Structure 1
Amino acid sequence: MASSTGVNASFIPTDGYLDGPRLLADVGGTNARFALERAPGQIEAIQTLRCADYAEFAQAVEAYLVHHAANELALGANAQVRHAAIAIANPVQGDEIKMTNHHWAFSIEATRRRLNLDTLLVVNDFTALSMALPHLEQTHCVQIGGGRPLAGGVVGLVGAGTGLGVGGLIPSERRWIALGSEGGHVRFAPGDAREAAILAYCWRTYSHVSAERLVSGPGIEMTYMALADMRGIMNPEPLHTAQIVERALAGGDALCHEVLECFCAMLGTVAADVAVTLGTLGGIYIGGGVVPRLGEYFASSPFRARFESKGRFEGYMAKIPTYVITAPYPAFVGVAAILAEHLGGGNAVPILERIRKARPQFSPAEQKVASLILAHPRAVMSEPISEIARRAEVSQPTVIRFCRTMGCQGLADFKLKLASGVTGTVPVAHSQVHVGDSSLDVGVKVIDNTISAMMEVRDNLNADTLSKVIDILSQASRVEFYGFGSCGLVAEDAQQKFFRLGIPASAYTDPQLQEISASLLKSTDVTVIISNSGRLRHLAPAVEMAVNSGATIIALAPSNSQLAKRADYTLAVEHDEGSNMHIPMVSRILLLLLIDVLAVGISMNRSSPFAELQRQAKRGILAHTAATQGDVASDKVTAKEEGPSASGDNNLVTPNLISHTK
């Protein structure tokens, strides 16, 4: 396995990663394999556990970690695992994982908390295998036909095991992007009459026959039964996949040999379809648990002939090389690369944390650069080197020297790692609340869903639109906020904030009042319309009047909504709550959050014509408060000296206090 540290050697401790070893896992339908990566490319402590032996995925991880911790402590090494990456034979969409070929189901975030991890990444197993390809040694791949791969060409990946995996690798500048897919579930396409008969046999049981149904380990057993039926064998000997393969390779069993012949040909069809679909001039790689066990037989099997059998495209296909991956644990290499990229590349921790830890070792000039990056990481990601140097009060060569000190090739490489660290540090995603969830799980899911939605709003903020909206609101003669229901509460909250900033503002939650307000708008006014659904409905009349008045319309709503299309500017609020939600939750918080962003932006906007009015108002309030406190103190002294009145009235001070507090 090739390894690349991605960080200056002076920052790599001799005992591995700064914050301990990383946990790697490759989870299939039958086995779960675990390993530790102690340093870049140093993968050890490999252990295979049977999935059937554990009721839950987390239990299997805990069993491995307990065993690992005992060994590490015996060696006097750091046993704490903070970061983990899992490759799983399953589609990964959101937080909830439900395995296709096993009964395990789990929440990624709940598992992260249970295992006390800082980071838990879960990716499709073929996404991981795809990312392993650039890091494999040539000795770990055997070429089966074809010519030379095109440098920088797209790479395809096919693998048969418990299921059928399909993936790809797309070059992008100096890195690769893994293309995840569920291509194994496309409909099976027979390549000849025999395969058509096998498909017909499967149709007796399944209405949909996917490629995975036949081109996989279990598919070999299905093909065995189908061919036996076609040969009139009434009660074929029940054989498992391993037994069929063993007999086929040993010779002497014609039926098993025919099964293996069919399997290799059908795999050739699948690989060829992937090649023409993706244009894999960089080659097709064959992984999974079946083909590597076929040894020399695979090279002489019908695989390559079927791969090239594409009619008018035979010449095109003949040039594409195909390889069999022979590395023992390639998925570990892939998930290690994915985890390294997620954590910002290089050594053990996200790049911002590495900067903090290494700060005392920097030169005085480099410390200035470090201080700027730690204080304004997002600004640094988008600024040119000249601006970074100016703000840090250093030379441009110092900025480059700092980047290389951090193990990066230059500023562009540093920004890429910085972006990964800044945007990838909150490991939460939207997850469903289910009946039967504990109170703690409900609370955690609600909070995590809110955080996830807030992160999405943050990452999708359009800087130009936000700046323009803040400038427009700062210069407006007056601002009118419209909203219904929970959005009406947001409008009222906005009105209070803007009024305190010295901006004439009103909030209307009644349709008729909104229409009256809209009819009085001028071209120098702004109306902010707040809607979690973005539907016009009751807002339509007021919106049309506002448009006709020439006032600027700003929408806080979903980006593709009706309201967004009518507005001059839209600050998008995307959320997973349905439009018929009776009690909006996440959307309400997102809208309030955007109002806060606008309020802070306006407050910081010193060019606002209302800024001086705001300062005058604040000085007036402080002066009035000071005068009030002085009068109250004087009244208390007078009351104490004079005592109760002759009429017995003990409340002489109260009217004075009330008049001043008013």
Structure 2
Amino acid sequence: MNDHTDPEKFARTAFADGPRLLADIGATHARFALQTAPGVFRSVRVLRCDDFEGIVPLLRFYLSDHDDATLHHAALAVANPVNGDQVRMTNRDWQFSTDAVRRELGLQTLLIVNDFTALAMAIPGLRPEDLMKVGGGAPAGNAVVGVLGPGTGLGVSGVIPTADGFVTLGSEGGHVNFAPADEREFAILQFAWQEWPHVSNERLISGPGMEIIYRALAHRNGVKAPPRSSPDIISGALDERDALCLEVLDCFCGMLGGAAANLAVTLGSFGGVFIGGGIVPRMGEWFAQSQFRARFEAKGRFSSYLADIPTYVITTPNPAFHGVATILSEHLRGRSGANTLMERIGHLQHELTPAEQRVATLVLEHPRLVLNEPIAGIARLAEVSQPTVIRFCRSLGFLGLADFKLKFASSLTGAIPVRHSQVRTGDSTHDVSAKVIDNTVSAILKFRDQLDVRSIDRAIELLTRAKRVEFYALGNSRVVALDGQHKFFRFRIPTASYGDSHLFTLAAELLQPGDVVVAISNSGRLPELLTAVEAARAAGADVIAITSSGSPLAKKASVCLAVDHAEDSTTFLSMISRVLQLLLIDILSVGISLDGRGERDDAAGTDQHHMLISHLGS
């Protein structure tokens, strides 16, 4: 029985929150699995990317066989650099927003990582039987590892051991310039220049690159050769013993050996260089006898340096699953990921000494600055001694500042998350502006993730059917009520806004069934507003409350649209809460506009709805 049809597969999951979706998505094929326990991958399936128009249809097709599985977490390795939310694939015309895909699939967690970053993360967990050693050398303990592998492209990465695990390097090293080592390779480079002004390693040391080498050598040798794909070239060499195909493989493996040697001396990969990808494992034992290792060690004065570094071919199927599973697991445990180290510092800050807390504050508010400053600069900016900086790093479990910076830099790969930062008396105008904007954006993103869509749907339904809509608010929320009235009157609904407690109490008593009150309050505890809401409900009207959940106003309303952002309104005007309230008015307005109110509006009314949408941004 195929595993993906096994009805009991999910009952055996070792994860409390169910199986985890893993994928390794290349330019040609996408490999999927459901991880049900550490090291256990079920429902493995390989799909052709050409059969799908984008990543969401691809994911939905795989998941269509697993409707019985409740998925909360997923991690995808893609053959692409990953920087921030937007992902544009290099060798395929796909682009997507990570967060949009997460929300569309209903996931709590969706990580997108570079495919060779995932492969690199798998290296520490590989067993001897998962590898084929090529040549001599022995790995040094606790040393850097290099990873590369040709497939549709050429992936390059590295693994650096740290005190609490490993750091993988997100690299696009396959795009460095190709450097020929002899006259034959120079002739191939000249042939490739006819197609591209810049010839990188990936142009030649890859599946498509093997086909370029085939055509170039046929041209150089004066041979009329039939077109062949890279799999055909490999089978032509190993099965048919075709002379041209054998020369292509010999040349290809030599080029790969040169690229591996360059990676080894660049990283100091005394832990070994590991070859992955989809091409080399197909060559089997032939690869071990190829020019790869000889070329790897042919480094002039550094030949003995490279002779001590072992090289391996990864032979286990789907090794990226192990790496991407590790990355997801560590993210969920709070050890790695986009911003978990930042969060860890924030959570532990109160446990640090006062001096160490000043270092923590500097790290949280100026992460890039800390990465670029030497220890003396960090100490000066935090107004502490240099030993305090070291103690701060060790309090977090790092060996010292260098170890901390290495892991911190890895955790900040891509965009630094927008987070709340306290505005301080001595802040410059630039810092004040940045913090106010960042704090607002941070609150909006959190608000988006916590939005109760069902309540919004219910509110839109009430407003769409309303005979009359009245907005009640006092103080700082009054401007939100006026904004709501300004937008809603365009729907040709009788609309009013009251900011006087005496007036809206009287108005509430005149309401009828089918009318709707939108009551807006940050605290939800104003006695005058509560009295008016009670009167409105007694008159048969519905009440939509834009307020904090759990407040008295929320409990008295027909529908509560929660705005739970804590602000000290006794000292400051509620700023961010007001922005979130205005956002809810916009969401309701657009929702009503799209709903159409067609059953009671004529063509002119429909034009008003379209006009409203265009006016939202004005």
TM-score normalised by structure 2 residue count:
0.57
Give deviations 1:151-210, integer Å, cap 9, x for gaps: 011000010001000000011113100011000011111111100000001111110011
Offset of residue 146 of structure 1:
2.6
In the alignment, which residue of structure 2 is the partner of 1:80?
70
Q: Does 1:289 align with 2:251?
A: no
Residue number among 131, 134, 139 corresponding to 1:149 in the alignment: 139
How far apart, in 1, do the equivalents of 2:217 and 2:149 lie? 23
In the alignment, which residue of structure 1 is the partner of 2:241?
252
In the alignment, which residue of structure 1 is the partner of 2:326?
337
Offset of residue 281 of structure 1:
0.6
1:573 partner letter: A
Residue number among 297, 303, 309 corresponding to 2:298 in the alignment: 309
Offset of residue 380 of structure 1:
3.5
Please say if residues 37 and 44 of structure 1, whose CA atoms lie closer than 8 Å, have aligned partners that are also in contact: yes
1:84 partner letter: A
Per the alignment, in what secondary structure is the counterpart of residue 343 of structure 1?
helix
Residue number among 381, 404, 418 corresponding to 1:456 in the alignment: 418
Please say if residues 419 and 438 of structure 2, whose CA atoms lie closer than 8 Å, have aligned partners that are also in contact: no
What do you get for the CA RMSD once the two structures are aligned? 3.5
Q: Does 1:327 align with 2:329?
A: no
Give deviations 1:429-476, integer Å, cap 9, x for gaps: 97xxxxxxxxxxxxxxxxxxxxx8xx4344xx5xxxx6xx85xx5xxx
Per the alignment, in what secondary structure is the counterpart of residue 169 of structure 1?
strand
1:23 partner letter: L
Q: Does 1:266 align with 2:127?
A: no
How far apart, in 2, do the equivalents of 1:33 and 1:382 lie? 44
Residue 380 and residue 299 in structure 1: after superposition, are their counterparts in 2 closer, same or farther (change >3 A)? same
Please say if residues 418 and 438 of structure 2, whose CA atoms lie closer than 8 Å, have aligned partners that are also in contact: no
Offset of residue 14 of structure 1:
6.4
Residue 98 and residue 380 in structure 1: after superposition, are their counterparts in 2 closer, same or farther (change >3 A)? closer
Please say if residues 85 and 339 of structure 1, whose CA atoms lie closer than 8 Å, have aligned partners that are also in contact: yes
Per the alignment, in what secondary structure is the counterpart of residue 111 of structure 2?
strand
Q: Does 1:215 align with 2:88?
A: no
2:199 partner letter: V
User: Map of 1:206-605 to 2, 5 A cutoff?
Assistant: 206-233=196-223, 235-344=224-333, 378-380=346-348, 383=351, 455-458=417-420, 473=425, 554-557=427-430, 573=434, 586=437, 589=440
Residue 301 and residue 80 in structure 1: after superposition, are their counterparts in 2 closer, same or farther (change >3 A)? same
Per the alignment, in what secondary structure is the counterpart of residue 33 of structure 2?
strand
Please say if residues 87 and 128 of structure 1, whose CA atoms lie closer than 8 Å, have aligned partners that are also in contact: yes
Please say if residues 146 and 318 of structure 1, whose CA atoms lie closer than 8 Å, have aligned partners that are also in contact: yes
Residue 262 and residue 45 in structure 1: after superposition, are their counterparts in 2 closer, same or farther (change >3 A)? same
How far apart, in 2, do the equivalents of 1:276 and 1:301 lie? 21
Per the alignment, in what secondary structure is the counterpart of residue 190 of structure 2?
helix
Per the alignment, in what secondary structure is the counterpart of residue 61 of structure 2?
helix
In the alignment, which residue of structure 2 is the partner of 1:33?
31
Please say if residues 573 and 590 of structure 1, whose CA atoms lie closer than 8 Å, have aligned partners that are also in contact: no
Please say if residues 82 and 414 of structure 2, whose CA atoms lie closer than 8 Å, have aligned partners that are also in contact: no
In the alignment, which residue of structure 1 is the partner of 2:148?
158
How far apart, in 1, do the equivalents of 2:17 and 2:173 lie? 38
Please say if residues 251 and 257 of structure 1, whose CA atoms lie closer than 8 Å, have aligned partners that are also in contact: no
Q: Does 1:130 align with 2:120?
A: yes
Q: Does 1:92 align with 2:82?
A: yes
Residue 586 and residue 324 in structure 1: after superposition, are their counterparts in 2 closer, same or farther (change >3 A)? same
Please say if residues 217 and 244 of structure 2, whose CA atoms lie closer than 8 Å, have aligned partners that are also in contact: yes
Residue number among 6, 20, 23 corresponding to 1:22 in the alignment: 20
How far apart, in 2, do the equivalents of 1:141 and 1:67 lie? 33
Offset of residue 106 of structure 1:
1.1
How far apart, in 2, do the equivalents of 1:429 and 1:275 lie? 25
Higher mean alpha-carbon deviation, 141-150 vs 214-223, is at: 141-150
How far apart, in 2, do the equivalents of 1:216 and 1:377 lie? 42
Larger Cα-atom Rg: 1
Offset of residue 25 of structure 1:
0.2
Give deviations 1:64-123, integer Å, cap 9, x for gaps: 111122xxx4xxxxx111100000001111111111111221111111111111111000
Per the alignment, in what secondary structure is the counterpart of residue 157 of structure 1?
strand
In the alignment, which residue of structure 1 is the partner of 2:556?
none
Per the alignment, in what secondary structure is the counterpart of residue 195 of structure 1?
helix
How far apart, in 1, do the equivalents of 2:107 and 2:239 lie? 48
In the alignment, which residue of structure 1 is the partner of 2:567?
none
2:16 partner letter: L
How far apart, in 2, do the equivalents of 1:33 and 1:303 lie? 28
2:23 partner letter: A
How far apart, in 2, do the equivalents of 1:166 and 1:104 lie? 21
In the alignment, which residue of structure 2 is the partner of 1:44?
42
How far apart, in 1, do the equivalents of 2:92 and 2:28 lie? 8
Residue number among 181, 189, 195 corresponding to 1:191 in the alignment: 181
Per the alignment, in what secondary structure is the counterpart of residue 180 of structure 1?
coil
Offset of residue 16 of structure 1:
1.5
Residue number among 51, 54, 57 corresponding to 2:52 in the alignment: 54
Residue 589 and residue 220 in structure 1: after superposition, are their counterparts in 2 closer, same or farther (change >3 A)? same
TM-score normalised by structure 1 residue count:
0.53
User: Map of 1:603-618 to 2, 5 A cutoff?
Assistant: none
In the alignment, which residue of structure 1 is the partner of 2:164?
174
Please say if residues 102 and 109 of structure 2, whose CA atoms lie closer than 8 Å, have aligned partners that are also in contact: yes
How far apart, in 2, do the equivalents of 1:571 and 1:182 lie? 37
In the alignment, which residue of structure 1 is the partner of 2:450?
none
Residue 39 and residue 332 in structure 1: after superposition, are their counterparts in 2 closer, same or farther (change >3 A)? same
Please say if residues 45 and 68 of structure 1, whose CA atoms lie closer than 8 Å, have aligned partners that are also in contact: no
1:380 partner letter: L
Please say if residues 221 and 239 of structure 1, whose CA atoms lie closer than 8 Å, have aligned partners that are also in contact: yes
2:55 partner letter: F
Per the alignment, in what secondary structure is the counterpart of residue 160 of structure 2?
strand
Offset of residue 41 of structure 1:
1.6
Give deviations 1:317-351, integer Å, cap 9, x for gaps: 000000100110110000000001111169xxx99
How far apart, in 2, do the equivalents of 1:217 and 1:155 lie? 24
How far apart, in 2, do the equivalents of 1:413 and 1:36 lie? 33
Residue 59 and residue 284 in structure 1: after superposition, are their counterparts in 2 closer, same or farther (change >3 A)? same
Offset of residue 573 of structure 1:
2.6
Please say if residues 419 and 439 of structure 2, whose CA atoms lie closer than 8 Å, have aligned partners that are also in contact: no
Residue 334 and residue 590 in structure 1: after superposition, are their counterparts in 2 closer, same or farther (change >3 A)? closer
How far apart, in 1, do the equivalents of 2:70 and 2:171 lie? 34
How far apart, in 2, do the equivalents of 1:591 and 1:86 lie? 25
Fraction of identical pairs, as percent:
49
How far apart, in 2, do the equivalents of 1:158 and 1:384 lie? 41
Residue 294 and residue 590 in structure 1: after superposition, are their counterparts in 2 closer, same or farther (change >3 A)? closer
1:194 partner letter: R
Residue 212 and residue 429 in structure 1: after superposition, are their counterparts in 2 closer, same or farther (change >3 A)? closer
Residue 319 and residue 99 in structure 1: after superposition, are their counterparts in 2 closer, same or farther (change >3 A)? same
Q: Hey, which bits of structure 1, 4+ residues long, moved more than 4 A?
A: 411-414, 427-430, 585-593
Please say if residues 248 and 254 of structure 1, whose CA atoms lie closer than 8 Å, have aligned partners that are also in contact: yes
